[in-house]
Amino acid sequence: MIRRRRSAPVCPPLRQGELDGLCGVYAIINGLRLLCPDIDREVAGELFQRLVRYLAHHGTHPHRAVASGVGFRTLNALLDDACSYARRTLGVTIRVEGLTVPRVARLDVTWAALMQNLGSHRVAIIGLGGRYEHWTVAYAASSRCLYLADSAELKLLLRSRCTTSRKQGLHKLSPNEIVLMSRVEMRWQDA
């Protein structure tokens, strides 16, 4: 009897997240986990449910957020809610601020600001455009790349593959769609 090898499927199977636009929710959770290592899978799961519930109750059409993703305004609202949750649940205060660069900045200016701001106590949620629309988290930067904690398993974002303008085939970084998150250490004063 001759045994035939099973051939690979004609179409590779889809992975979880490939058909939904929840990368913004994952970016928020991944950013918080980088700043708060005490967020385990259970707490991350609770936060995920909370943010999806927020979309259902505050979005005019929550199914659009699941199918098409969230815009910058909605991302900021979700981020506020997640920071409130972290403060109440973990006693951790997270500061959120925009990247300080001109609204329409060249790539070298944006990249330099990211290099200066990213580190062990600060991460950035970055809205990517161009090749595809996606929210990701950068936790470190060098002159050549951004290091990512990404829900789509991206590890690096090469500077040579990025732009702040509309160039075909490149990742577009919009300086006004970059949010810095940092953990604020509370200093307790003795009475």
Q: Which residue has the higher pLDDT, 154 or 118?
A: 118
Mean pLDDT of 30-41: 93
**Domain spans, the chain:** 23-184
Residue 166: DSSP 8-state: -
CB atoms within 10 A of CB 1: 2
CA angle 114, 146, 49 (to 5 degrees): 90
Across the chain, mean pLDDT equals 87
Question: How far apart (Å, rounded) are the C-alpha atoms in residues 54 and 57?
Answer: 5
**3-state DSSP assignment of residue 149:** coil
Tell me which DSSP letter residue 119 carries.
B
pLDDT in tens, 84-132: 999 999 999 999 999 998 877 899 999 999 999 998 789 999 999 998 8
- Cα distance between residue 88 and residue 105, in whole Å: 37
Q: Look at residue 146 and tell me whether its pLDDT is greater than 70.
A: yes
pLDDT tens readout for residues 55-83: 988 865 667 777 778 899 999 999 999 99
How many other CB atoms are there within 10 angstroms of residue 71's CB atom?
13
Q: Which of 109-124 are b and which e, b meaning 16 or more Cβ less than 10 Å from the residue's Cβ? A: ebbebbeebbeeebbb
